[in-house]
A and B are shown apart, each in its own frame.
Chain A
Amino acid sequence: MSDAALASLLPLTVVIPIVGAVAAPLSARVSRSLPLVISVLAMAGTTAVLLLLAPTVYSGHILTHFMGHWTPVNGKALGIAFGADAFGLTFALVCATVGGILLLYTLSELGRLGRRELGGYACLFQLLLAALIGSALTGDLFNLFVWFEVAALSSYGLTGFFLERPLALEAAFKVLVLTTIASFAVFVGTSLLYAQHGALNMGQAHDALAGGVHTADLVALGLLVAGFATKAGLVPFHGWLPDAHTAAPGPVSALFSGLMVNLGVIAIARLTLQVYGPHGRPVLGLVVVVGCVSAVMGAWLALGQDDLKRLLAYDTISQMGVIAVGFGVGTTAGAAGATYQLVNHALYKALLFLCAGNIVHATGLTKLSEMGALGRHRPITAAAFIVGAAAIAGVPPLNGYASLGLIHDALRDGHPAVFAVLLGAQVITIAALVRATYLAFFRKRDATYEDLEPIRPGMLTAFLLLAVGCVALGVLPTVVLPHMIAPAAGALLAGAAYSRGVLHAPVSPLPVPHVAFEYFAPSEFGTVAGTVLLGLVLAWWYIRRPTQPRLMSLVRSWHTGSVNDYAAYAAVGLIVAVAVMLTG
């Protein structure tokens, strides 16, 4: 197939899940499990289309298609472009595959719920996946806003799915309030850019900004970063995230944490590196600072949680911070490490949330203090959880080792202070996960659990696929790095070429940068050994403490649970972001 014919298939990557979403409530009238079966098939179809495009895109091409053939006139585009570069395609692929696995898991674990509620669930789940794929592939600023909103509206219903928990509706309301603030910021930012330059196409915006950056452009960037940082769950925009993850069904938490927060990080990376490029300099510094704060605070709060899913949710905030730092450094190694880490995070965090959701669903317990000895009662869940936790900890040969190593490489020489902060966050993260693993799976528990339902084949398959993914991406960095991660990082840093590509101009294949990663470097092995050791010590110290440290009480006291406070934090963050853009 020619490149143009291939590119014309791009819209199918959102249309297939959308057709599945429409079919889900209809098929729910026929049978209980049909909506989820259709969903799994739809995600398989989407993956197939993406794989068809993958060889061309990963060889450095940018596949661009203007909907309805409304191509640009004199370099000005009114029509909407989907532009698949290696960066966007990577996340579209991750969304389609991991999304399919999560739907398979749902079918197996929750497939006996009511048929109408399953129809609605499958519909929203696929709409959210379609929105994530669309936002990864779109080359149009307003179209990005549309997909952002589709993702937002689907997430409200999914958050409140288990209505028997009063917490669920409250969480849905918090997500609603904070995401609405975010979408306001994104909308105003996009409108400012359009009013200033008449540009909606990202390539056209890039070219217009290269001619000079105005005050309105900087305010727009501040607003866009604040809006997407809310979706990414970065501090101080993170108030919605822990509640939403706690109350939602396990596979939905996995979807939120593994895939949905990526939307925010991807959009920030695209806007800062590709669209604004060198013209929005202070923003990268801002992203690094926000990333550092998120990494440390998320990890610290994770350490103090008693609710297992809330613990993992705070860890997501921490991980998103680490990834933001990688992108914010703006070097090839940083961008490659962050991209790699984002893919890995989707795998291991989805795995961890499936385990946590499985425990909640099977035992009716949410608190670590009430669990214990689950390693004996649920050995498969325990094994899967340990794989995920070890991957986050960066234990070789799992995937976290390679991606964290790349981010460390990017920081080790030029940014020693940031490097130190991330290592600190890593130690706390490991301590939090070790504590959770010990309390849930290995601590002695006298009472036994009542009739735990067995792990069904679909659940086992999902655990296995995600765990195998964690191992495969870890042991094969020599394959993954040059063929997937390096092209993605190259595309991200080649703003001018991306801009020509999404404007339909002929563009020669992007050079794939060389990303060096020494797997057996003693310094990286030493770093991992050191952080794991310190993490174990910290975990031991924390578990033995009868009361929580004063610093923990202080940070936790900021998280009042009041949506007013969380909205105020986000608004202050927005003000600071814009002010930094204007003065930096």
Chain B
Amino acid sequence: MTEPTHRRAVGAAIVAAVFGLLVVALTQLPDDHAPLPAVAREAMQVALPRWHITEPVNEVVYGTRGFDTFGETFLLLAAVVSVVLLTRPRERRAERSGEEQIGRQEEAGESSATDSDEREARGAEAEEVRDRDDSPPTPDVAPVGTPRPERAEEMTVVVRTAARIVAPVLAVAGLYLAAWGYAPGGGFPAGAVVLGVVLLIYAGFGHRRIARVTRPASVELVELLGAIGIVMIGLLGLFLKGSFFANWVPLAPEQTIRSGGILQLFSGAELIEVASGLVLAVFSLLVMRHDWSRDESDDPDAGTDR
């Protein structure tokens, strides 16, 4: 296969045409001053009082249209499992398959132009591994001001101190987003913030510091438990109230931490699911170092399954 040609003019024309059609449609829509659609009015006038909650976005996302969020939870699970599957190391298989044979042929048929790049990348990776072995156990042990080149996987004392101060604040802010359901927020954004905390620590202190927390096996367990929790919240609605995702928790007064019935539970379970799912996906990519094009015999990961 030859390198694809970039026809910029054709691309620009297509983009412009799509843009033009969207503009045509957008200019035909009712303008900002048009009255709210009935559905939106229903959310404000009917649904908010019935959920005992004052935040319309949370009410729609986890309450009245919670089933969409339920679907999106599993959209996320599909994305995470896809990433984990596509970044997985080789596993020991109990039998030979024709696909392996085809894979070897397809590789042999590929151009060898990338060979030097590939060798260079592998060399760099090997060096990094060697580097890691003679570095101090944590970056904090290294005396400040030593005139040695910094390693890619740790930061200066300034960054580390900043991370130490910011990470707890960020973590509290994230949990607040999920816990106080009557304010804008909820489990989805809160989960993303938790990922931010983990990445901050990773950036400041290197992978080894958080390797224990981000072990795929345990993060995956947490994620799947979060997913089961969400399914259970919905199913209890079906068994207790006759409808999937019907509210079965007594409604507390508005503007308290418990207001909103199952909405808060759902949001909390979502926090677990999203936070662990994103951590799993990101760290699967970060620590990905398997190489499927190598021969199985020199693969250090082969046989780790048993």
Contact = CB atoms under 8 A, between A and B. Distances in A.
Given A68-B245, A73-B42, A78 B77 contact: no
B51 to A, nearest CB: 10
A130 B71 CA distance: 10
Given A115-B91, A560-B4, A571-B18, A142 B77 contact: no
A564 B4 contact: yes
Nearest to B99: A162
Interface in B209-256: 217, 220-221, 224, 227-228, 231, 234-235, 237-238, 241-247
Interface in A349-404: 360-366
A51 interface: no
B74 A127 contact: yes
B224 A165 contact: no
B287 to A, nearest CB: 15
Contacts of B74: 18, 21, 127, 130, 150
29 contacts: A8-B242, A11-B67, A11-B244, A12-B238, A21-B77, A25-B220, A67-B243, A68-B63, A68-B243, A115-B305, A127-B81, A142-B68, A143-B68, A154-B81, A164-B103, A164-B104, A165-B102, A166-B293, A196-B30, A198-B38, A200-B39, A219-B25, A220-B25, A222-B21, A364-B101, A365-B102, A562-B1, A568-B11, A574-B18
Contacts of A143: 67-68, 71
Given A77-B39, A195-B29, A216-B25, 15 more contacts: A67-B246, A68-B63, A68-B245, A78-B65, A80-B65, A113-B97, A115-B91, A150-B78, A156-B86, A157-B86, A160-B82, A164-B99, A198-B37, A198-B39, A360-B98
A169 B77 contact: no
Nearest to B10: A568
A187 to B, nearest CB: 12
B68 A117 contact: no
A80 B87 CA distance: 36
B146 interface: no
Given A15-B234, A150-B74, A166-B107, A575 B21 contact: yes
B174 interface: no
Contact of A564 (B6, B29, B30, B38): B6
Closest 6 CB pairs of A and B: A198-B37, A114-B91, A157-B82, A164-B103, A364-B101, A364-B98
A70 B30 CA distance: 27
Interface residues of A, number: 99
A74 interface: yes
B110 A166 contact: yes
Contacts of A116: 88, 91, 305
Interface in B20-35: 21-22, 24-26, 28-30
Contacts of A66: 243
Interface in A35-84: 65-70, 73-74, 76-80
A165 B99 contact: yes
Contacts of A65: 243-244
B102 A360 contact: yes
A297 B301 CA distance: 45
A362 B86 contact: no
Most buried by B among A25, A29, A68, A120: A68
Nearest to A147: B71
Interface residues of B, number: 85
Contacts of A561: 1
Nearest to A204: B39
Contacts of B17: 575
B75 interface: yes
B170 interface: no
Contact of B38 (A19, A74, A165): A74
Contacts of B66: 67-68
**Chain B binding site: helix, strand, loop or mixed by DSSP?**
helix
Contacts of A194: 37
Most buried by A among B10, B36, B46, B98: B98
Contacts of A361: 97-99
A112 interface: yes
Contact of B75 (A149, A157, A160, A169): A149
B38 A70 contact: no
A167 interface: yes
Contacts of A479: none
A342 interface: no
Contacts of B84: 120
Interface of A: 5, 8, 11-12, 15, 18-19, 21-22, 25-26, 29, 32, 65-70, 73-74, 76-80, 110, 112-117, 120-121, 123-124, 127-128, 130-131, 134, 142-143, 146-147, 149-150, 153-154, 156-157, 160-167, 169, 172, 188, 192, 194-200, 214-216, 219-220, 222, 249, 360-366, 453, 560-562, 564-565, 568, 571-572, 574-575, 578-579, 582
Contacts of B4: 560, 562, 564-565
Nearest to A153: B78
Contacts of B64: 68, 70, 78-79
Nearest to B42: A78
A121 B24 CA distance: 43
B71 A112 contact: no
Contacts of A163: 86, 88, 292
B127 interface: no
B234 A78 contact: no
B141 interface: no
A70 B102 CA distance: 53
A215 B82 contact: no
B103 A162 contact: yes
Contacts of B39: 76-78, 198-200
A80 B69 CA distance: 11
Interface in B108-150: 110
B298 interface: no
Contacts of A73: 38, 42, 46
B246 to A, nearest CB: 5
Contact of A25 (B21, B36, B90, B224): B224
Contact of B81 (A79, A120, A134, A172): A120
Contact of B106 (A74, A166, A200): A166
B85 A117 contact: yes
B79 interface: yes
Contacts of A198: 36-40
B165 interface: no
B247 A68 contact: yes
